[in-house]
Structures are given as C-alpha cells and as structure tokens.
C-alpha cells in the first residue's frame, strides 16, 4: 500500500485539489491511492513534490527494507 | 503532466467521447481500448474478406450487398464496445471546479454551435454530391439551393446540437 492518501490528508487536500495541482484527473489520484494504477516515475515525483515528501516516504513499504 | 495531443489522439478522444485534457492514465486506457478494437477489427476483416471472396465468386451481387451490410453491423458493435469500455474506465466524465463551471458550460455551448454548423455543411455537401451522382444535378447549384431546402437541415442540425449539448453537460461534474 502506498501512503499517498495519508500525505494528502496531512496536507489537507482533497483528491480533486491534488489532481488540479499535478494536472491529472481526480480518478487517476483515486486509482493510485487504491493501488489500482501504477503511476509513471514522473507522476510519482510530482506527487512527492506537491505532498512535501520523497519517493521513499510515499511508495516504499517498510517491510521491504529488511 | 498534461500530454500533447496529436490529430490521431484527438480523433480517438472524439470516438470514445473523452472530454478535457488527457493524463497518463486516461491515455493508457484510451490506447488499450483502441488496441482491442483494432485487433477485433483485424480479425473481422480477415474472416469476412475470406468468406465474401468465396461467396462473391458464386453470387457477386449478393456478396457485395452482404459485405457492406455486415461492415455496417460490425462497425455498430465495435462502436458500442468502445463507448462502454470508455465508460467503464471512467474516461467519459469531466470534473470541473465550481469557479470554472460557468466557463466550461460556455465552452460546451460553443462546441455544440460548432457541431450544428458542421452538421449543416457536411449534410448539405453530401446531399449535393448524391444529387449529382444519381440525378446529374449541378453540384454548386445544389450547395447554394438544396432541393430539400435548408429548413430540414437546420431542424436536424439543431436536434443534433441540443443532443450533444445535453450529453456533454451530463458528463460534466461540478467539484468543490
């Protein structure tokens, strides 16, 4: 599971507001949050920048580090 | 993140009824649907051509008529598949913010007026060409003074434009 929803809620953004900031459709954000779509690296970087974090924070699962 | 649209992409969007800008998910889904439709069409073309080549050898007139009819029926089913698949992938909805809603409404009104003009021009031209082919009428004269008059074209053009306006309005969703 990624942590896009968690970071988005921390920033107080709705799915629509986040999608407007990045320039994608709201459905795309919804699919990413529900792990139904694997975004491209460019989109992941944009998401991390807008949510004020990095790729590890957003997409790296802690179990995988061990 | 917005993707530059080529003419072919714009055409695909028009067939599938995808409003607004494409993002990477929408583009990927659109290409998947179009690829599926292409493979189905390819299989149909190979099978139908083989069949009607053999059948047309024995009954040429029936072969041509049946081939054209089966093409129309096939096109209908492929179009239905594409529309349903686009709807299932949530490609047909356009979400606009409350601030941009009036602007978006004006935009779809302008698009519907464009549809009306295109309908009248294309069908007037088509009618003129048909009259030229079947009745040997003067093509330029038919464009300026169509046999059936402009009233019927304007009536159906308005019908199409209103239909498109309602359908686009229905696809638009106001977001906070």
> Does A58 score more than 60 pLDDT?
yes
CB contact under 8 A, B93 and A24: no
Looking at residue B132, its pLDDT comes to 86
> Does A1 score more than 60 pLDDT?
yes
> Does A63 score more than 70 pLDDT?
no
> Does B29 score more than 90 pLDDT?
yes
Mean pLDDT score of chain B, rounded to an integer? Answer: 89
Burial (0-12, 13-18, 19+ Cβ within 10 Å), A15: buried
> Does A61 score more than 80 pLDDT?
no
Looking at residue B175, its pLDDT comes to 80
Please tell me the distance from the alpha carbon of residue B86 to that of residue B92, in angstroms, as a whole number.
6
Please tell me the distance from the alpha carbon of residue B40 to that of residue B32, in angstroms, as a whole number.
12
Q: Which residue has the higher pLDDT, B139 or B42?
A: B42
Contacts of A17 (CB under 8 A, 6+ apart): none
Judging contacts by C-beta atoms under 8 Å, the chain A residues touching residue B92 are none
Q: How confident is the model at residue B43 (pLDDT cuts 50, 70, 90)?
A: very high
The rounded radius of gyration (Å) of the Cα atoms in chain B is 21
pTM: 0.77
B95 touches chain A (CB under 8 A): yes
CB contact under 8 A, A16 and B2: no
């Amino acid at each position: 599971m990624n942590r896009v929803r968690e970071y988005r809620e921390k920033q107080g953004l709705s799915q629509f507001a986040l999608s407007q900031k990045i320039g994608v459709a709201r459905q795309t954000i919804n699919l990413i949050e529900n792990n139904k779509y694997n975004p491209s690296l460019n989109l992941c970087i944009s998401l991390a920048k807008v949510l004020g974090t990095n790729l590890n924070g957003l997409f790296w699962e802690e179990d995988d580090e061990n | 993140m917005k993707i530059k649209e080529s003419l072919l992409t714009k055409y695909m969007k028009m067939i599938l009824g995808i409003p607004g800008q494409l993002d990477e998910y929408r583009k990927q889904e659109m290409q998947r649907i179009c690829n599926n439709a292409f493979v189905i069409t390819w299989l149909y073309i190979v099978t139908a051509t083989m069949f009607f080549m053999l059948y047309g050898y024995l009954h040429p007139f029936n072969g041509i008529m049946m081939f054209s009819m089966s093409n129309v029926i096939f096109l209908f089913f492929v179009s239905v598949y594409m529309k349903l698949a686009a709807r299932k992938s949530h490609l047909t909805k356009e979400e606009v913010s409350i601030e941009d809603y009036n602007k978006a409404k004006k935009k779809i009104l302008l698009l519907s007026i464009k549809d009306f003009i295109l309908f009248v021009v294309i069908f007037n031209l088509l009618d003129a060409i048909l009259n030229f082919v079947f009745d040997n009428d003067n093509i330029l004269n038919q464009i300026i003074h169509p046999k059936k008059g402009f009233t019927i074209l304007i009536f159906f053009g308005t019908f199409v434009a209103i239909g498109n306006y309602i359908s686009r309005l229905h696809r638009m969703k106001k977001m906070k």
